[in-house]
Amino acid sequence: MKLKIALFSLMLAMLAMLAAVTPIATANEVTGEEFKPFADKHIILQLSDQANEAVVLDTANNLIKNYGGPDLIDIEIVTFGKGVRLMYADSPQQVRIASLVENGVRFYVCQNTLDTMERSHGERPKINPVAIVVQAGVAHIIDRVDDGYILIRP
């Protein structure tokens, strides 16, 4: 019996030492995204047309106001096709994008679209550093909808 207690104590001590030296990743560290535990709504705003840039940014801002602040709504803006122009480093919408990022909005850019643009124009566009690049914007939307996000295409 004493041997079992000693082994059990040794195992607990080893687990405690392991926990002390092993960092635990938070959801934010794993995904690289903001984690909003109090968000009532999880929204994706799709932007595939450059003409709707202002509408998408206005919609995100209005949703934050409507739901009582950035902690109560989780918003992602996913750009692909002509919509990726919103996320160019020299976009005229930089100030609005920065403001929305400060309020927890995440911006995604489609890698496939960037690759196509590079092949067509001979160079890759410079992208705003706040953008999170995903392989396929549409696939990202599908995955998020499967996770319970609501898709809105203003």
pLDDT tens-place string over residues 26-71:
333 334 444 688 899 999 999 999 889 999 999 999 999 999 999 9
Q: What whole-number percentage of the chain has pLDDT above 70?
A: 77
Domain 37-152 part of CATH 3.90.45.10: no
DSSP string across the chain: -HHHHHHHHHHHHHHHHHHHHSPPPPHHHHHSS---TT-SEEEEEEE--GGGHHHHHHHHHHHHHHTTSGGGEEEEEEE-GGGGGGGBTT-TTHHHHHHHHHTT-EEEEEHHHHHHHHHHHSSPPPB-TTPEEES-HHHHHHHHHHTTPEEE--
Q: What is the pTM of this model?
A: 0.77
